[in-house]
Amino acid sequence: MKNVLAWIKSNLLIVVFCVITLVSLPTAFAFSGMWRERIRSEREKAANDEMSKVSKADVTYTIPAYDPGQKPLEYKGAPNAELTAWFKEKRDSLAEAATSLVRRAEDFNRGVGDDARAVGRSEHMAMVEGLFPDPKVVVTARVRKELGDEAFDAKTDAERAALVDARADELHRAKLNEMEEVLLGKFGRPYLYDNLLKSIHAGEPANPVLVYGAVKELFTRESDKITAGKRNLTPEEQADLAKKLVERRLADYQAASAGISLYASLKVWPQTVTKGFSSIPRGKIDPDNITLESFFVNQWDYWVYDDVFAAIRLANGDTGNPVGVANAVVKRIESFKLADPEGLFDTSDPMSGIMDAAPAEPPPAAVPGLVPLVPAVSVTGRAMGRWNTVYDIRRATLTVVVSSARINEFLDAIARTNFMTVTDMDIQSVDVWTDLKEGYYYGPEHVVRATVEIETVWLRSWMKNYMPPSVLSILGGEGGEAPATAPQEAAPQTSGRGRKGG
């Protein structure tokens, strides 16, 4: 033991260092472990941060769905030049197709383009250039052009109003007078509604007075030929002559029907004004109806008439020449009633039931993004209200005599001609012999009397450019831009009717 202690004392440094070494090894091991964990944590955090940056660099590629009922196509991943180019190409292509489809629908509804021409329609234009939507728009454009944009914009609102208002009032009065003349066919102008009937080669049956006179003359001539005025006709001679007279009367009726496509006259429109329904202007227009708003509805009425007549022309296969009543699908128009635009005038009228069914506030849409439907209004659910700024509705009732075997051709023509839907139809039998006595010859095929309810749709995207500000305010929606109308010499495609009298 003494030797050990002596050795320790003589080798104290060695012993101290050995002790330090023995103590430091576990301590170092412990600290190295702690250091390793700290380094690993720091590196993991750094790696996670870098990974997060990479993850956040992912992009979501999307191809939107233009059908509200469909979900957009999405793909999430790291940025990729080829993916970016592919998605851009598809988005641009889809957007162009959607825009083109919307424009095509607007053009078709307005009567523009190959689709409209294919069904025999032409563009719906203003009857009087510069009247709609408001003459002030025309005058403002003229004053701006005269002064130049910079000088016009530099003036105060009061100064601009002073330059525009007086001239606008004068133009307004002049255009209203011109519209009245156009609607009534004054001062050598053609009567628009006569032209509508001519467009479908409509006509009236043979004049019964003239037919009676011709038959009476034939009777006298044939009777004198047989009896020489010296005796009475025998029963057999009377029967033969009666047969000739019937054949002559029928031949006159057939001859009249061969030169037209169907029977119709101005009498198909209501002869008296009924509240809630349109009537074509006749003779004069009530001074209360010589307004921008009433004349706009007159014009709109005319567009509806024109579209329905185009459908009849299409059904009859009339491509420019009369087809003859016997060959026509629609052989006679008995009446044509058109309801006022829903909500535009006093609703205490026959259409108030429809207006009561249409809610003041927008109902929930079955598919988000689409116009809500109101099933209580019609089988289609389409309704007008301030919440619907996409389209407006006009409802017409047409009573016609039509071929029973080919009535589907007529219904199909209605759907093809414009955005029109048959919402109801009642069928009745026709007493053809009674009608024949009045001169209506329908040909050999069986016919029925069909009362057809037609719902017509008018897209606001182009219609608002013709709507007076007050009308647009009532129907709901923002103002449009002034339409580029054709001069009056171009075939007018517009309307007519007074609010209080024709």
pLDDT at 11: 65
Q: E strands within 354-446?
A: 391-403, 420-429
Question: The tokens of 392 are what?
Answer: 């407006």
pLDDT per residue over 17-48, tens digit each? 665 666 555 665 555 666 666 667 767 776 66
Angle 192-199/292-316 helices, nearest 10 degrees? 20
pLDDT at 24: 59
Residue stretches of the chain with pLDDT short of 70: 1-39, 42, 46-57, 65-70, 211, 213-220, 222-226, 228, 230, 237, 241, 245, 346-363, 365-369, 478-502
Please tell me the chain's helix, strand, coil percentages from 3-state DSSP, rounded to the nearest 5. 50, 15, 35
pLDDT at 458: 97
Exposure on the CB side of residue 380, measured as CA atoms within 13 A: 17
Q: Torsion over CA of 204, 210, 215 and 219, rounded to 10 degrees?
A: 180
Backbone φ, ψ for residue 235 (5° rounding): -55, -40
pLDDT at 207: 77
pLDDT per residue over 457-477, tens digit each? 999 999 999 999 999 988 887
Q: Torsion over CA of 213, 219, 224 and 230, rounded to 10 degrees?
A: -110
Backbone φ, ψ for residue 423 (5° rounding): -100, -15
pLDDT at 79: 74
pLDDT at 166: 78
Bridge partners (DSSP) of residue 457 are 393
Rounded to 5°, the CA angle 428-430-433 comes to 165
Domain ranges of the chain: 2-53, 61-110, 135-201+268-475, 205-258
pLDDT at 20: 63
CA–CA distance, 112 with 214 (Å, rounded to integer): 48
